[in-house]
Amino acid sequence: MNNEKNSINRDQLNIPRHALSHYFERAALDERLFPSHISLFMALFYFSGTDIPGDIFQVSRAKLMRFSRIRSVATYHKNVKELTAYGYIEYTPSWHPHRGSSVRLLCGTVANN
């Protein structure tokens, strides 16, 4: 089956799209993204605690690095900076030792569809 036929079948069957469908479609076409960007975004989604993008949540760098298997702090910061610049996330760092940074997933939100 070709993609057009799959799209028609989905629409005809009224199958709902996942909250991150837009992200996956966009990421697949974005040649700037590397596996580390995608794994970091998946870690962010996991720790967001919801399947509805757009809510602000807090998470620590240590948890994100462990989940996404990013071992270098420099790589982590580079990926966060790029995901922010490319419009995938909003990121507000926290230098508080016990409070995580604030993050909002932008892909899939009404404003970015």
Per-residue confidence band for 99, with pLDDT thresholds at 50, 70 and 90:
confident
Dihedral angle sign, alpha carbons of residues 58, 78, 39, 27 = positive
Residue 12 has pLDDT above 90, yes or no: no
* Each residue's pLDDT tens digit, 59-76: 999 999 999 999 999 999
Residue 90 has pLDDT above 80, yes or no: yes
Q: Which residues contact 33 (CB under 8 A, 6 or more apart)?
A: 27, 86
Nearest 5°: CA angle at 78, between 70 and 25? 80
Task: State CA 98 to chain mean position distance.
Answer: 23
Write down the pLDDT at residue 62: 93
The answer to whether residues 25 and 108 touch, using CB atoms and an 8 Å cutoff, is no
The answer to whether residues 77 and 70 touch, using CB atoms and an 8 Å cutoff, is no
Phi first, then psi, for residue 89 (nearest 5°) are -140, 160
Higher model confidence: residue 36 or residue 110? 36
Residue 7 has pLDDT above 60, yes or no: no
**Using CA atoms, how far apart are residues 69 and 60, in angstroms rounded to an integer?**
14
Higher model confidence: residue 61 or residue 3? 61
**pTM of the complete model:** 0.76
Write down the pLDDT at residue 113: 43
